[in-house]
Structure 1
Amino acid sequence: MSMVNLPGLKDMIEGISKERNLPKQAVQAALREALLKGYERYRRTQRLDGIHFTDDYFDNFEVELDVEEEGFRVLATKTIVEEVTNQ
């Protein structure tokens, strides 16, 4: 997935960090979690074919936050196997 721009991200993180007296890493972790939950909710509501995602479907997804470039990506981790056992 390409980078989604979030103009002002760096200033926002610094502002919340100072306002709430939190480490920047804690603010970034909370933001990554919120973006991932938002992505999950979006994907679940956009599924129009009647098939539902399993509860653990989104466990392999993570958000990469790039503060310097002011953006984020949602990444999926995949396991490569020699032979598919279920279809």
Structure 2
Amino acid sequence: MELSKTAEGRVSIETESLKESWIISLLLMFRYGFFRWGIYIPPITDEAIHPDFVRFNLKICAGWDNWSCYYFSADNSQTDNFLLKFYKKHSGNYT
């Protein structure tokens, strides 16, 4: 799991591991109360769009692409703060 910035300057968590992306997803839903909203758009060329994670004013955009692999990107400044705290707490530690 790596922390990075999107082209828009938002915080993003990226991983090459499918297992790690599932763990992140499960933590977001069952420990932090996010629900999934949106549709899945399968990879036609080099990117797939997954349903967003939404909780109150927090929105995490999720997907997969050839460069980042699996990504979880903040949609606003409140979500930037949440993802930074999430990364610090869970990077390399999934309990």
Same-fold call, TM cutoff 0.5: no
* Bigger CA radius of gyration: 1
Higher helix proportion, which one? 1
TM-score scaled to structure 1, two decimals?
A: 0.29
Higher relative contact order (CA 8 A, sep 6+): 1
TM-score, normalised with respect to structure 2: 0.27
